Structure 1
Amino acid sequence: MTQTLNIIGGGMAGAEAAWQAAELGIQVVLHEMRPQVETFAHQTGNLAEMVCSNSFRSDDDEQNAVGLLHWEMRQAGGLIMEMAGVHKLPAGGALAVDRDAFAQGVTDRLLAHPNVTVQYGEITELPTEGHWIIATGPLTSAGLGEAIRKETGADALAFFDAIAPIVYAESIDMDVAWMQSRYDKGATEEEQKAYLNCPMTKDQYEAFIDALLAAEKTEFHENETAGYFDGCLPIEVMAERGRETLRFGPMKPVGLTNAHEPENKAYAVVQLRRDNQLGTLYNIVGFQTKMKYGAQTEVLKMIPGLQNASFARLGGIHRNTFLNSPTLLDNQMRLKSQPHIRFAGQITGVEGYVESAAMGLLAGRLAAAEILGTPLNTVPANTAMGALVHHITGGAEAKTFQPMNVNFGLFHPVDGLKSGRRGRKDRYKAYTDRAKEEWTSWLAQG
């Protein structure tokens, strides 16, 4: 009798898990509550909708851990990476996509797959039998979140996440702004259209910081103990840490030359990254914010070049939940108390689109192999996938567990290589060479 894999959540992790299992011959039912039940951040009912950014970050698979994760997912026939390639936008050394076309592409491929059925509607209780993956992400519905809390016996951990505004390109003053990728990465004409730059003098920067700090913010008034994920801090939180913080973060002026005034070095620069294939939308890089809407428009229009800006979407803040995975999940990503249920994606305590999709890829393959009666070996810890899953399912300290991006700090050292900055390039290449060999061998087993 055919056994079905049920997946709750059609985001990055759920979509990738469904694809992997379906490609291995498993019948999959993908449960997605949108558009019947909306969330704060999503705007459509499409699967794998991107909300915080349109970037998958670095695509360098020899010197960057997330680029290595891209490589591993491609080798496994990952749908997310395939669609990212189809809908890629110029973005220097990063992998950025047309977010709407990307989500539509993922949705179309899954709906067309003979082994995939998509069912729309909210699930509020934990399943008691069958094979299940919960990939509901940081915006898990209140009902299902409460069911998870009751089963695990502890309150879900949480952190706050923020979304950056998106600007209509036609409203940007190109007599002030100019097109240039930082350090001229990918210096073709098309690549130079990937980023717009808005310069600030010292006085303009100081006035902007003053307005930012004084602006009215959205706050959670419930009894919250959550903090912010450092990789996605609101700009006003960064500014509160010091007036120069933004100038050495998302507003750093290095690697850029003002095309209108080449001899005049900007004190700070706001970058906007192309958000769609048409080039009609640009998102403000690193400008996640919890400012209220009225305050956002006033403060952001202080940026030279954006004085007449029209916004396709303003920023916002939402509460993300995640499991204390080191105590709750085994090394096959199964809930220890209910091993017929696996978890995948951001709810497991990984951070980022790529990491979420990667955990979906693993969960889908592990579940499919279990259903087929051919369980897979533990993922090699020296791969990007293995380093990440090992961290969340036992490598991290449970008492201080927080969301984590993939990084080389999660990898076992390579014998015989120097530590320190001088040997970093060789060390990272050794990490990626070793990972590629071990990932290829692991894939070959199933």
Structure 2
Amino acid sequence: MEEVVVVGGGLAGSEASFRLASMGVKVLLYEMRPVKGTPAHRTGRFAELVCSNTLGSMELTSGAGLLKAEMELLGSLVVEAAKEAYVPAGTAMAVDREVFSEYITRRILEHPNIRLIREEVKKVPRDRIVIVSSGPLTSEALAEDIRELVGFDYLYFYDAIAPVVEAESVDFSKGFWASRYGKGGDDYFNCTLTEEEYRVFYEELLRAEKVQPKDFENLVYFEGCMPIEELAERGYKTLLFGPMKPVGLVDPRTGRQPFAVVQLRKENREGTLLSLVGFQTRMTYSEQKRVLRLIPCLRNAVFVKLGSMHRNTFI
């Protein structure tokens, strides 16, 4: 079989390249990072996770859990790496994103059937067998060529990233460790808020300055990854049924369900970094620090990564 061209070294491109190479097929893998970056990636490694560090539920009763189980039966590199980089997170498959991407990068670079070229592909080759796996952060030039190839306009939505804090800066006296409904271990730190603390946080969230989009684009969001300030705009109690919902949690200090919680999840194996679960945001950096420090456990938080927003393209 002739050499297969794979464009993009994200999750799909890495999986496709490794699977083909493992079957004896020669692969020419193109990845433009780090020669040319994207608005969200930070490294040149393969399969870098730019948003959440979870790959969805592990429960076989869910579509995501069943998919990963089937992928594992097929010898998936992504699932293999996820198990190597696993971080406890209740029923979710969370990973140390650095270990995860480093593992996949090493396996790709070590494979004798994969040839890597670090440059931007601006046009889809028309005379080769090609897998286009450039993902939602496809470069403008390639996105335009794909648009011409498929014959209709591509679409877009805005995605946001949640902040990460140093664990040492968190006040652990202001909450408790537990997983919702007791599923899994005590993998999440639940920072509790009283009704008054929630009200103050909510009002300041609405007042906060936000990063504005380009003049010619509308802010279209993915409903499963909405910025917290957009949820707040929908009503006073919306966050209480979203990322700040207290259901399934009982505060061992009071024996009661809190009014509201902010969940923190381990970002790495050592537990030195914690991400704010579901707290994607487009607040400006200075406003993120001001508003998020109104959360009791984060009064003195040290932020190692602040939330941001980026544009995702899809067909």
Provide the TM-score with structure 2 as the length reference.
0.97
Contact map agreement 1:215 1:291 (CA 8 A) in 2 = yes
2:259 aligns with one of 249, 267, 275: 267
* Residues 367-399 of structure 1: CA deviation (Å, up to 9, x unaligned): xxxxxxxxxxxxxxxxxxxxxxxxxxxxxxxxx
2: CA distance, partners of 1:199 / 1:234:
20
Mark the CA change 1:88 to 1:33 in structure 2 (over 3 Å): closer, same or farther: same
CA 1:110–1:75: 2 relative to 1, 3 Å: same
Note if 1:12 corresponds to 2:5: no
2:253 is aligned with 1:254: no
Alpha-carbon contact 1:177-1:196 (below 8 Å) kept: yes
Alpha-carbon distance in structure 1 between the residues aligned to 2:296 and 2:219: 35
Give the superposition deviation at 1:153.
3.4
Distance (whole Å) between structure 2 residues aligned to residue 257 and residue 66 of structure 1: 27
Q: Is the 8 A contact 1:4 1:28 kept in 2?
A: yes
**Aligned residue runs from structure 1 range 80-99, under 5 A:** 80-99=78-97
Deviations 1:189-214 (A, max 9, x none): xx32x211110011111111111111
- SS of the aligned residue for 1:124 comes to coil
Change (3 A) 1:73 1:269: same
1:178 deviation in Å? 2.2
Of 161, 164, 167 in structure 2, the residue corresponding to residue 163 of structure 1 is: 161
Distance 1:133 1:250 in 2: 36
Q: Secondary structure at the match of 1:253?
A: coil
Shift of 1:21: 0.9
Say whether the 8 Å CA contact 1:139–1:320 is kept in structure 2: yes
Aligned partners of 1:12, 1:154: CA distance in 2, in Å?
26
Partner Cα separation in structure 2 for residue 8 and residue 139 of structure 1? 12
The AA in structure 2 aligned to 1:86 is: E
Q: Is residue 2:218 matched to residue 1:219? A: no
- For residues 4 and 170 of structure 1, the distance between their equivalents in structure 2, rounded to whole angstroms, comes to 50
Q: Is the 8 A contact 2:6 2:29 kept in 1?
A: yes
- Percent same amino acid at aligned positions? 47
User: By how many angstroms is 1:225 displaced?
Assistant: 4.4
Q: Is the 8 A contact 1:158 1:226 kept in 2?
A: no
Corresponding letter in the other structure for 2:287: A
Look up the match of 1:134: 132
| Mapped contact 2:264–2:274 kept (Cα < 8 A) | yes
SS of 2:206's partner is: helix
Aligned residue among 75, 100, 103 for 1:102? 100
Within a 5 Å distance, the mapping from 1:186-205 to structure 2 comes to 186=184, 191-192=185-186, 194-205=187-198
- Segments of 5+ residues of structure 1 without an aligned counterpart are 324-446
Q: Can you give the 5+ residue segments of structure 2 that lack an aligned partner in the other structure? A: none
SS at match of 1:6: strand
CA distance in 1, matches of 2:54, 2:151: 36
Aligned to 2:172, what secondary structure does the other structure show?
coil
Q: Calculate the TM-score normalised by the size of structure 1.
A: 0.69
Q: What CA distance in whole angstroms lies between the structure 2 residues aligned with 1:226 and 1:23?
A: 42
The reply to whether residue 276 of structure 1 matches residue 276 of structure 2 is: no
1:264 Cα deviation after fit: 5.3
Contact 1:200–1:266 (Cα < 8 Å) also in 2: yes
Structure 2 counterparts to residues 319-338 of structure 1, below 5 A: 319-323=311-315
Cα distance between partner residues in 1 of 2:149 and 2:257: 57
Alpha-carbon distance between aligned partners in 2 of 1:226 and 1:289, rounded to the nearest angstrom: 13
Q: Deviations over 1:271-328 (max 9, x none)?
A: 01111101111110000111111111111100011000011111111111101xxxxx
Q: Pick from 277, 292, 296: which aligns with 2:284?
A: 292
Match of 1:181 among 162, 179, 182: 179
Name the residue aligned to 1:231: 224
State which structure, 1 or 2, has the greater radius of gyration over its C-alpha atoms: 1
Q: Which has the higher helix share?
A: 1
Secondary structure at the counterpart of residue 287 of structure 2: helix
